[in-house]
Structure 1
Amino acid sequence: MVFHSEYEPVPTLSLPIHDAVLGRAAAYGDAPALVDGAGELSLSYAQVDAFHRRVAAGLAEAGVRKGDVLALHSPNTVLFPIAFYAATRAGASVTTIHPLATPEEFAKQLRDSAARWIVTVSPLLPAARAAAELAGGVEEVFVCDAAPEGDGVRSLQSFLASTAPEPEVAVDPAEDVAALPYSSGTTGVPKGVMLTHASIATNLAQLEPFIPMGPGDRILAVLPFFHIYGLTALMNAPLRQGATVVVLPRFELDTFLGAIQKHRINGLYVAPPIVLALAKHPAVASYDLSSLEYIVSAAAPLDAALAAACSARLGLPPVRQAYG
């Protein structure tokens, strides 16, 4: 039996994901797109658009071709989206790797996804190299931050000076895989989930009426981009709508609360353990969280009493839940 929604069907958004998200970047121009919540770096929409195109050119010059798989192995940084959209613009599919994966776990995903390229960060370079050695078939390992002195590894940042032509790759949004995240393995071994450009883009269109975001909104990205929740709700969706994404590499309560206060965050996308902290932890009282307008919880079921306690403490509308 097929169950149909009471709402009108969402038309398929048949665009490459880099165009679905960054197609309006020029219009947003100098508005802040990505902000390092634990540092000082900030990138405007114009910079994100220009930088991902130059990195795509550098990747294409290095040999990345349509049909290749690139493994993106990084905690949340302002450069994660640059690497992701550059890879898809160069024609690759991106498989996202848990930054704390062991070399053996990493290598298993590399083999299963047939990844030929790795982008990591300097602190995780030894694990990425070990995984590449175990898996075989990896052409090159890049870093997206500053390359270690004398190590011989290339940084994506060096591609910003590339004069290579921007790749013009014919993408079939309905058939070509944009992202290849892996399931957690709840019902067996982790499995690669083949998400086409159109499926991700159409999901973004589905989400727009749920919580409209736009210029001036400030979203805190503390949940990982490598997971589909973070990739969709904290990276693709706000950047498509012109909001500012404040990026944190991990959840630490005081850093999290301090970022809300400092950056005047108005939208939070979290998981139930963070809702619990907001509802119960005494540290919350030490921060000004008055900028918050809504909270969305997903990734696991949220207890109704806990949701109500969080909303009451912060003076917010009911915590929304998402799943699926």
Structure 2
Amino acid sequence: MVIRSTLPDVVIPSVSVHEYLFGDITPDDLDRVAVVDGVSGAETSFRSLLAQIDAVAGAVAARGFGVDDVVALHAPNLPAYVTVFHGLLRAGVTVTTINALSPGPEIAKQLLDSGARLVITVSALLPAAEAGAKGAGLAPEQLVVLDGDSAVAPGYASLADLLAEPHPAPDVTFDPATHLAVLPYSSGTTGRPKGVMLTHTNLVANVAQCFAIGVERDDVVPCVLPFFHIYGMTVLLNVALRTRARLVTLPRFDLAQYLGVLQDHRATFLFVAPPIALALAKHPLVDSYDLSSVRAVLSGAAPFDEKLAAAVVARLGSDVRVLQGYGMTEMSPVSHVIPFVRRDISSGSVGLLVANMEAKIVDPATGDQIEQPAEGVSGPGELLCRGPNVMVGYLGNPQATADTLEPDGFMHTGDIVTVDADGVFQVVDRLKELIKYKGYQVPPAELEALLLSHPKISDAAVIGMPDEEAGEIPKAFVVTAPGATLTESEVIAFVAEQVAPYKKVRAVEFIEAVPKSASGKILRKDLRVAR
């Protein structure tokens, strides 16, 4: 059976992201603070933000970038990120967001795969960006350093240069339902990172669907979850801009700095991943700050149990709502959430389907659909979702698209769920092989391929091991080549030199053989059971 959202449908207009977020802004809202730099305290009003967005759109259009082009944005959370991201969308450019922690080789792969012709970065990340651009065959003039000047990153254009150019924002025309707004990279249910094709309508739809979360006009939203990740991009950045809430940006997570921002800016709505929730619940430093302004904490990106939710409430106060959501990059990303107004739903669940969303639960062994019960809880099965926020496919990868999207539009999530009679979903397991380290996706296949490139390793497998702080950590099982000697520290160092920090292997076990099926597939469940 098809399970429909119990929330009323919302209207999803056929407009660009820019038009949806800013097209109906009122004169009163123009002078509200839109973005605050959490480090310096500098404030940007909606009026100034929109002028900067138009200036960036005009500058990139004057450089020849428009509807048929992809530009890479490689930066941490800064007010400038908000300006540039929306300036690019305003110009009709497709934005591929790059993880700020990615090393040069990973950046080069994404640039080549996405077809990006321009990289926009910051000086702190310039060495990796330069290496990635060079690896992708881009010239120095195809790189912009937002905070660059004659002393910092000489020779590169800067944001100040873009803002100073006298070019009006271009008039662009495209079909929001088919034109790609963003190309974030995701491993999907398994495998190597792939470009997720999300249209303007996908992003507009998910902002509209996220109204159930309960962000309001007077909320103050600290943004430590990265904007380059779809969670930060949609749920923090775009939802806050649409509701005219106040964003406070932080370029990285430092607990003392984060708590200082919560206190000094009177933060009200926190969006976190479980490791931050764990710190809020247990770290002694929390007691040194006044967090009485917080009214809600929403966790996503990785599993979050009811005990941790209760610990957060016990620490922050009984009036604080602790919510949970669920989604994937491929769904822009939110498909489920506990609405702020629903105090009857367990914080250990992922809540209800968002508006305009449908789901099926399928037995992964038989393919039979599992019914939603009239009372009680259903049996477990794989979750499939369909809605206006679901991607149009993976860039240049029709096979992966066909493996993920059914002909009727339902998308495989790879997660095993149950649903109760009231439409509340619970994630109980997952089919997909991704490791979730502090909310970041770590594909085992990528690490395994890297390990196999080591001359002293003849075979390898990687699984996620439970970890209280990180959720999961990547653990490698290594078979050494005949006659070779290798240590755990050597394996860890080999991987660390070539991947972003969150992808590092953090434990190694040497084994005689990797368990595999008759078809040669790694039996990860056997490794988990044995260890």
1:249-300 CA-partner distances (Å, limit 9, x unpaired): 1111100000000000011000111111111110000000001011100001
CA distance 1:26–1:48, shift in 2 (3 Å): farther
CA distance 1:148–1:229, shift in 2 (3 Å): farther
How far the C-alpha of 1:323 sits from its partner, in A, is: 0.7
Q: Is the 8 A contact 2:54 2:168 kept in 1?
A: no
CA distance 1:147–1:26, shift in 2 (3 Å): farther
2:7 aligned with 1:4: no
Corresponding position of 1:266: 268
Larger CA deviation: 69-78 vs 154-163:
154-163
Equivalent of residue 211 in structure 2, options 198, 208, 213? 208
RMSD of the TM alignment (CA)? 1.5
How far the C-alpha of 1:184 sits from its partner, in A, is: 4.6
Give the Cα separation in 2 of the matches to 1:284 and 1:184: 35
How far the C-alpha of 1:148 sits from its partner, in A, is: 4.5
Give the Cα separation in 2 of the matches to 1:195 and 1:251: 27
Kindly, what percent of the aligned residue pairs are identical? 48
Higher percent of residues as helix: 1
CA distance 1:131–1:148, shift in 2 (3 Å): farther
TM-score, length of structure 1 as denominator length: 0.96
Equivalent of residue 158 in structure 2, options 155, 167, 189? 155
Provide the secondary structure at the position in 2 that maps to 1:323: strand
Provide the secondary structure at the position in 1 that maps to 2:66: coil
How far the C-alpha of 1:162 sits from its partner, in A, is: 1.8
Corresponding position of 1:74: 75
Corresponding position of 1:59: 60
Q: Is the 8 A contact 2:219 2:246 kept in 1?
A: yes
CA distance 1:175–1:186, shift in 2 (3 Å): closer
Corresponding position of 1:40: 41
Q: Is the 8 A contact 1:26 1:45 kept in 2?
A: no
How far the C-alpha of 1:318 sits from its partner, in A, is: 3.9
How far the C-alpha of 1:145 sits from its partner, in A, is: 2.0
Equivalent of residue 250 in structure 1, options 252, 257, 260? 252
Q: Is the 8 A contact 2:274 2:300 kept in 1?
A: yes
How far the C-alpha of 1:112 sits from its partner, in A, is: 0.7
Q: Is the 8 A contact 1:254 1:283 kept in 2?
A: yes
How far the C-alpha of 1:209 sits from its partner, in A, is: 2.7
Provide the secondary structure at the position in 1 that maps to 2:126: helix
Runs of 4+ in 1 over 4 A off after TM superposition: none
2:107 aligned with 1:106: yes
The residue correspondences of 1:1-324 to structure 2 (distance < 5 A) are: 1-25=1-25, 27=27, 28-137=29-138, 140-149=142-151, 151-184=154-187, 187-214=190-217, 216-315=218-317, 316-324=319-327
CA distance 1:26–1:127, shift in 2 (3 Å): farther
1:25-75 CA-partner distances (Å, limit 9, x unpaired): 453111110001111321100001000101110111112121100100000
Give the Cα separation in 1 of the matches to 2:64 and 2:288: 51
Give the Cα separation in 1 of the matches to 2:99 and 2:229: 8
Q: Is the 8 A contact 1:26 1:49 kept in 2?
A: no
Q: Is the 8 A contact 1:295 1:320 kept in 2?
A: yes
Letter in 1 for 2:33: P
Q: Is the 8 A contact 2:215 2:269 kept in 1?
A: no
Letter in 2 for 1:196: T
The count of corresponding residues between Structure 1 and Structure 2 is 323
CA distance 1:107–1:148, shift in 2 (3 Å): farther
Letter in 1 for 2:18: H
Q: Is the 8 A contact 1:14 1:202 kept in 2?
A: no
**Unpaired stretches in structure 2, ≥5 consecutive residues:** 328-531
Q: Is the 8 A contact 1:95 1:113 kept in 2?
A: yes
How far the C-alpha of 1:187 sits from its partner, in A, is: 1.1
Provide the secondary structure at the position in 1 that maps to 2:294: coil
**Unpaired stretches in structure 1, ≥5 consecutive residues:** none
How far the C-alpha of 1:4 sits from its partner, in A, is: 1.7
Q: Is the 8 A contact 1:272 1:297 kept in 2?
A: yes
How far the C-alpha of 1:89 sits from its partner, in A, is: 1.3
